[in-house]
Chain A
Amino acid sequence: MAIWTVVFFPPSSNKYSPEDFVLSIDRKADIANIKLRLDTLSKLEIVNWPTGWIERYEKLYQLKAGDYRLYLGLDGRKIVVCHACRKVSMKAKRADIDRAKLNFQNYQWRTQNEN
């Protein structure tokens, strides 16, 4: 049973939507792998997350899935997928991390100001 809810932000059609990025990946095996890794995280407490492919990364979490990297923020019991990209070098690109942080801040700001 899932103990985390996984959401993607910004949603589809936004220029920086991680959802659209994931859906645009050519190999179905890569998409299935991303789906299963997110599903696995949603069923485990953070302390039990598999360290082989998920790690803390500048206040966010970086999920590795083959050549792809997803950046996750945690908001209450939500895992917010706030950026996705293709790995181009061993080191994550500054622009990707900054984009992920900005999207997550935007998500938090919006949810906090909803009511």
Chain B
Amino acid sequence: MKTRASTFDEVFSKFADDEEFKKEERKLRPYYDLVIEIINRRKELGLTQKDLADKADTHQARISKIESAEYDIRMSTLIQIAEALDSELSISLTPVGKRIPINSDSKASGLFKMYSETAAAAAQNFSESEAGTLPVNPVYA
């Protein structure tokens, strides 16, 4: 007989029609989305929490709290952290029920979009349409 264990989806699908639960989840989810985004990007850059704190002009303890979803971060702090992570902050308001889950593998799908990707896309567009007609922008070169 197969070991019977309930899956995550089986357990929490019981709240699929519970409006109160879904509202609470919506209120909390952005904090956790931010946790995943910051941790993954920080690790990608090989930074410690202390490194990030120094670059963002804040304290390591605050980064730790943000990465634990236990800190109600100010917009200005969030922008500083995004800058320190060589990323730009991307915000969207999604109609309730239309949310696309963050794919932590996709660097462009989360809250932070990296400059490097934007630059790469711009460079691609430039080379396809404008090559030879405009001077090369060193930012995109």
Return the chain B residue nearest A40 by Cβ.
Answer: B32
In the assembled complex, which residues on chain B have CB atoms less than 8 Å from the CB atom of A19?
A: 6, 11
Interface contact B25-A43, CB-CB below 8 Å: no
Give Cα A43 to B28, complex, Å.
17
A26 nearest CB across to chain B (Å): 11
Is A50 a contact partner of B39 (Cβ separation < 8 A)? Answer: yes
A23 at the interface (CB under 8 A from B): yes
For the complex, give the distance between the alpha carbons of A69 and B77 in Å.
31
Interface residue total, chain B, C-beta cutoff 8 A: 36
Query: Given that A29-B28, A114-B2 are contacting pairs, would A50 and B67 also be in contact in the complex, using a CB cutoff of 8 Å?
Result: yes
CB distance from A105 to the nearest CB of B (A): 13
In the assembled complex, the CB of B74 is this many whole angstroms from the nearest CB of chain A, namely: 19
Interface size class of A (residues with CB under 8 A): 35 or more
Q: Which residues of B contact A (CB under 8 A)?
A: 2-8, 11-12, 14-15, 18, 20-21, 24-25, 27-29, 31-32, 35-36, 39-40, 43, 64-65, 67-70, 102-105
Given contacts A37-B69, A50-B39, A52-B70, 9 further A-B contacts (CB under 8 A): A1-B105, A7-B7, A40-B32, A40-B36, A43-B102, A48-B40, A53-B68, A53-B70, A107-B5
